[in-house]
Amino acid sequence: KPSSAASDVYKRQAIILAAGQGTRMKSQTSKVLHKVGNKYLLQHVIDASHNHVEQLNVIVGDNSQSVKAAVKDSKINWVLQEKQLGTGHAVQQAIPFIEDQSICLILYADVPLIESQTLEQLINKAHSTGFSLLSVVLEDPFGYGRIIRDSNGLIQSIVEQKDASKAELKIKEINTGIMAVKGSLLKKYLSELKPNNSQGEFYLTDIIEKAVKDNVSIASFKCENKSEVMGINDKKQLSQAERDYQLNLAQGFMSKGLTIMDQSRFDCRGNLNFGNDCIIDINVVFEGDNDLGNNVVISPNCIIKNAKIGDNTQILANSIIENSSIGSNSSIGPFARIRPDTHVGNHAKIGNFVEVKKSSILNNSKVSHLSYIGDSKIGNDVNVGAGVITCNYDGSNKHQTEIKDGAFIGSNSQIVAPVTIGKNATIGAGSTITQNAPDNKLTLSRNKQSTIEKWKRPNKK
């Protein structure tokens, strides 16, 4: 959606540079397909710009196959840059697709944390002057292009580290590379670029000097949040970006009322919704789409992936929940593993060292200790004793177990599926159940206990 009415005559386009090799990552994977918050770097940039533009021109190089396969978006126009001859050359490849009457946003796939509001401001400035640039002031500007201003503070040019004089190297305001330019101006100055510099590259940054000579005034604004414009070239910077991203997420969640015990040990790799008064203890990792009700407590060291967790439920330490839903007022763990397609009801308990897979365990039921429950339907008010195993696999196929409401399964029993345990049935401890057990009765399968009177322990030789 366009951000202001004045913009309506202009088409909004973006050019995202993603063709670089990324050799410093020392990886078989293309740099732009590395992830922050489990999302591709390129995808972050697409998401930040998506609502501002009608079309995204993504410049790819040798990595084109893997990048195209990984990132899908109907707004993308893939543009191949066969040889990487510099940032100006990269942008030139998109020229056939850029309209004169457009505001063109230039972005970098390895600068992933740029925020949508920042781009909005940059675009608005480009509407008034035709050309706007995002800068940042860095304590250590080494490696970046420096912003050269005249005595009135107006931008004159950008000088790259490798081409800068001693005096220019002292400048701390640097070029983030991110800019918004009217299509007609961009095309004009790009066509005039020459690789007359120490690297023999076509520098995109040279268009600034050309525009200034043409009396175009360059609007600029300084980005206050440095992590938004940080570039990722190596694994150290990738890790820093991940932490910055997580800290930013954590602070956003806290401002919406989430209690996070330690914001530096919080990880959300996806989307998190939560109600009131939820508490997240340390080292919890959220993945995918998670939904917490009110008063949910997650204790240390849990992995919560694509889960829905109801009000007042506690997930105790060292538990893993994946693609499952847990009702309200229930308790999971410590050390529980809830595998995909599990549904646990309300006021239920899954205790320590219990693994549950593709099963439902309804209201007020308890599986408190050391059990495996797989491919099972467990009703309401069922008590499953310690060490009970549902034997769901015969070596070739999986089979279903059904345990009806009110049943009590004695400890250390094996329930060999397919089998049904009746309503309010009781299974004696240590039984191996291979046939259906009737409602309301005690069923057991074990030898009668006996004592050998004359037996003696052997003597030590």
Alpha-carbon gap, residue 390 to 56, rounded angstroms: 53
Residues 10-69 that bind Ca ion (CB under 5 A): none
Q: Does 185 participate in binding ligand UD1 (rule CB under 6 A)?
A: no
Which residue in 13, 175, 220, 443 binds ligand UD1 (CB under 6 A)?
175
Nearest to Ca ion of 195, 231 (CB atom): 231
CB of 284 to ligand UD1, least distance (A): 33
Is residue 179 within 8 Å of residue 132, measured between CB atoms? yes
- Positions marked active-site: 369
CB of 232 to Ca ion, least distance (A): 9
- In single-letter form, the type of residue at position 375 comes to D
Nearest to ligand UD1 of 3, 161 (CB atom): 161
Q: Does 418 participate in binding ligand UD1 (rule CB under 6 A)?
A: no
CB of 186 to Ca ion, least distance (A): 20
Binding mask 216-235 for Ca ion (x = CB under 5 A): ---------------x----
Residue 177: other Cβ atoms inside 10 A: 22
Is residue 238 within 8 Å of residue 22, measured between CB atoms? no
Which residue in 144, 274, 286, 372 binds ligand UD1 (CB under 6 A)?
144
Q: Dig out the tokens for 387 from the structure.
A: 């060490």
User: Which of the choices Ca ion, ligand UD1, none does residue 141 contact, using the CB cut-off of 5 to 8 A by kind?
Assistant: none
Nearest to ligand UD1 of 88, 406 (CB atom): 88
User: Which of the choices ligand UD1, Ca ion, none does residue 17 contact, using the CB cut-off of 5 to 8 A by kind?
Assistant: ligand UD1
> How far is C-alpha 334 from the chain's CA centre?
25
User: Which of the choices Ca ion, ligand UD1, none does residue 367 contact, using the CB cut-off of 5 to 8 A by kind?
Assistant: none
Name the β-bridge partners of 290. Answer: 272
Total residues contacting Ca ion by CB under 5 A comes to: 1
Where are any strands of DSSP class E within 248-354?
259-260, 266-273, 279-280, 284-292, 297-298, 303-309, 314-315, 320-326, 331-332, 337-338, 343-344, 349-352
- Angstrom distances, CA of residue 430 to CA of 69, 126, 406, 446: 53, 77, 19, 7
User: Dihedral of CA 400/404/405/408: which sign?
Assistant: negative
Residue 80: other Cβ atoms inside 10 A: 11
Q: Does 89 participate in binding ligand UD1 (rule CB under 6 A)?
A: yes
Which residue in 14, 15, 17, 437 binds ligand UD1 (CB under 6 A)?
17
CA 275-281-284 angle, 5° bins: 90
CB of 91 to Ca ion, least distance (A): 15
Alpha-carbon gap, residue 426 to 417, rounded angstroms: 17
Nearest to ligand UD1 of 142, 455 (CB atom): 142
> Which residues contact Ca ion (rule: CB under 5 A)?
231
> Which residues contact ligand UD1 (rule: CB under 6 A)?
17, 19-20, 59, 81, 84-87, 89-90, 108-110, 144-145, 158, 160, 174-177, 203-205, 231
